[in-house]
Amino acid sequence: MKVVVCVKQVPDTKGGVKFNPDGTLDRGAMLTIMNPDDKAGLEAALRLKDQYGAEVTVVTMGLPKAEEVLREAMAMGADKGILVTDRVLGGADTWATSQTIAGAIRNLEYDLIITGRQAIDGDTAQVGPQISEHLGIPVISYAQKIEIEDDHVIVERQYDDRYHVLKAKMPCLITALAELNEPRYMTPGGIFDAYNAEITVWGRDKLVDVEDSNLGLKGSPTQIAKASDKVRKGAGEKVTLDPAASVDYIVDKLKVKHVI
């Protein structure tokens, strides 16, 4: 069984977001991590490796620095890392990104492709389903449990007030929720091996069945009209009172605002 996992290196928004003076994101000043939903997807793949001896290949698209997440994935137990990087791929929206990754995956054999549901920088949740569409395979988004049964996957697919248990024939693409599992840590031996492991680097010429007109900024249907810091309404009053006075204060405000 062969599993391809797509991961993204993202700024760690939990550590706070840093801006350049012109208001753009200062990515250099921010720590980067493997996107949390992707890490859950990787863990799911590694469990298939533990259980069925699946071969796990990790693919990422990004700047050369993104090879860091591939080494992390290999230190956790992935077999192979592929970095898709090329200047012509820069500025891609989700359409162009999914075209690129699908073009890379066409070089590989796979039974299952696992992506995270969404990345914490863009929060779009689009790239996984779009890759599946380009490859012409079924997609199951928002997976909270994955099992294998012969040449089918059985997946619990989360919705707001329910879940569906779905059965799909492989090959299939699954998008993973962070709730899926608790990702394992890298092992010391794994870190050592991953540091020395060879990372496969692919450029534009390795992408199969993708037109230039579908790549990078020029191949992106969506364009940014404006970007800015969020303007918040700002703080109101803040008081420090004893409990009884705090209650008086809240009740007074609720009365003034005609809530009670």
Partner 1 sequence: MNIQDYKGVFVFAQQVDNVLSGIALELVGKGKDLAKDLNTEVTAVLVGSDIKGLADELAEYGADKVIVVDDPELKEYRTEPYAHALASVINEFKPEIFLVGATAIGRDLGPRVSARIHTGLTADCTQLDIGDFPINPVPGKEQLHNQLLMTRPAFGGNTIATIACPDFRPQMATVRPGVMQKAPREAGKKANVVEFNPGFTPNDKYVEILKVVKAVSDVADIMDAKILVSGGRGVGSPENFKILEELAEVIGGTVSCSRAVVDAGWKPKDLQVGQTGKTVRPNVYFAIGISGAIQHVAGMEEADIIIAINKDETAPIFDVADYGIVGDLNKIVPALTERLKAELAAK
Between 188 and 234, CB nearer to partner 1: 234
137 CB-side CA count, 13 A = 24
Distance, in Å, from the CA atom of 38 to the CA atom of 9, rounded to the nearest integer, reads 9
Between 85 and 115, CB nearer to partner 1: 115
Q: How far is the CB of 228 from partner 1 (least distance, A)?
A: 6
Between 57 and 98, CB nearer to partner 1: 98
Asked whether the CA dihedral 225, 204, 41, 67 is positive or negative, the reply is negative
Q: How far is the CB of 73 from partner 1 (least distance, A)?
A: 23
Gyration radius from the chain CA atoms: 22
Residue 172, judged by CB atoms within 10 A of its CB (0-12, 13-18, 19+), counts as buried
Distance, in Å, from the CA atom of 54 to the CA atom of 52, rounded to the nearest integer, reads 5
Between 83 and 101, CB nearer to partner 1: 101
Between 95 and 110, CB nearer to partner 1: 95
The torsion angles phi and psi of 101, rounded to 5 degrees, stand at: -70, -40
Cβ atoms of residues 197 and 165 within 8 Å: no
Q: How far is the CB of 135 from partner 1 (least distance, A)?
A: 10
Between 60 and 132, CB nearer to partner 1: 132
Distance, in Å, from the CA atom of 240 to the CA atom of 131, rounded to the nearest integer, reads 53
Q: How far is the CB of 144 from partner 1 (least distance, A)?
A: 10
- The first and second tokens of residue 50, run together, are 């533990």
Q: How far is CA 237 from the centre of its chain?
A: 39
Strands 9-11, 32-34: pairing is antiparallel
Between 63 and 250, CB nearer to partner 1: 250
- 131-170 in b/e form (b: 16+ CB < 10 A) is bbebbebebbbbbbbbebeeeebebbbbeeeeeeebebeb
Q: How far is the CB of 19 from partner 1 (least distance, A)?
A: 8
